[in-house]
Amino acid sequence: MFSSTKIKSVDFYRKIPRDLTEASLSGAGLSIIAALAMMFLFGMELSNYLTVTTSTAVIVDRSTDGDFLRIDFNISFPSLSCEFASVDVSDVLGTNRLNITKTIRKFSIDKDLRPTGSEFHSVPALHFIKHGEEVDEGSVDSSITLTAANFDSYTHQYPILAVNFYAPWCYWSKRLKPSWEKAAKMIKERYDPELDGRILLGKVDCTVEIELCKRNHIQAYPSIRIFRKGSDVRDDHGHHDHESYYGDRDTESLVKTMEGLVAPIPVEGSQKLALEDKHNNTAGAAKRPAPLTGGCRIEGYVRVKKVPGNLIISARSGAHSFDTTEMNMSHVISHLSFGRKISPQVLSDVKRMIPYLGGSHDRLNGRSFINHRELGANVTIEHYLQIVKTEVMMRKKFGEISLLEEYEYTAHSSLSHSVYIPATKFHIELSPMQVVVSENPRSFSHFITNVCAIVGGVFTVAGILDSILHNTIRMMKKVELGKNF
């Protein structure tokens, strides 16, 4: 058994009897300062321990989210009708997908980007439209020529007014003309405008009646519209709710369609009856409600391969012609992002942990690209996007690691003149590298070690300062007393 005397001999902290020690004001002051310094440094160390630090590395992309990239967007076009707006994607591997509709929604909007109704349902991919074999040999026109001066009166006079908005230079308008005039002649013979008065076929030359065609939002030729008497006439020009006809353009199909419109209306048909029968006679893909305004908001998403490619939004139709000089692809990007959507709460938590994260994943959001015509016609607006994947490694409870992935991008936009139909193009290029941001939590042992170092270091430094100060004061007192050293 060790005696208490032997145990005491290994004491590192030998005690001096209290009656052999002397307290001083300088020592008390330094003790207070040392205590405050310890508390301050301890607080700083605790804050540093609780703060999550990160490290950033750039490595070759090791994506775990498959071979496809999701692109979410919400873009408004004040001057592009939903009737012909098409979303296309292509890439360097030869993939071409035209007029994507499954994951896309369209809403007609006015010039102030406000929606004017419910979702606009596009016509399914247009089938091959049948045209008549008639040849235009300069026969007498049977349809009525409509102008801005007489258009409103005719729309109020006849329960059904079918109008062919055309352009003389348009190939498809030229193919439609013989069938349209022959159909107009047959309808006139069967339903005399003077005696029957239920239907009339007319035509508008959009190269002459420019304002009339703009008023009816005609953006492609030929556009066949079906107006019904008694529809909405609240605005200044008495616009009617109307439908667009997308069916076959041979004489037989046109006549059959017109007869189907007239059949429910008696000879003494009323305005009310024409309205009541409106929805009963517009079923099928041949006729759809025409856009009430000339703009369109396109929202949704597409999936593309992770290779350089393009997202293109433009006017497209296999049986219409477009006047490129009148097309304006100005747009406002409300949202454009890549990859899986991150909930606002998760993004908020991550940005709080890593403040610089998320600064470039919505770089184009809220940006407007408007062509005020000072640049001329045939202007295509192009955006060049370089995308980099960022992967965040976050620590959770029990040592688990969750992955948060987002795509950030840089964007450069330009305007270019083209001989083709103007479009809005997003050129997409993905970087083969990715940024990895890792969380580096501080260990508790490191925290304790630093706390001990703070306490011991401040205590030792304060002791040295106190010794120096105490000896200096003693020497000064001896000098005052005239004592020799």
404-415 pLDDT tens trace: 778 888 899 988
Contact of 407 with 338, CB cutoff 8 Å = yes
Q: What is the pLDDT of residue 400?
A: 53
180: confidence class by pLDDT, cuts 50, 70, 90: very high
Q: What is the pLDDT of residue 333?
A: 93
10-38 pLDDT tens trace: 666 677 777 667 777 777 888 888 889 88
Q: What is the pLDDT of residue 474?
A: 78
Residue 73 pLDDT > 80: yes
Q: From CA 255, how far away is CA 250, in angstroms rounded? A: 9
Overall average pLDDT of the 181-192 stretch: 92
Q: Which two tokens stand for residue 206?
A: 């959009």
- Name residues whose C-beta falls within 8 Å of residue 96's C-beta, 6 or more positions apart in sequence: 88, 89, 90
pTM here is 0.74
320-377 pLDDT tens trace: 899 888 888 889 999 998 887 666 666 666 665 565 565 666 678 888 888 776 666 6
Kindly report whether the peptide bond that precedes residue 222 is cis, defined as omega within 30 degrees of 0: yes
What is the set of active-site residues?
Answer: 170
Q: What is the pLDDT of residue 407?
A: 86
Helix axes 251-262, 171-190, angle to 10 degrees: 50
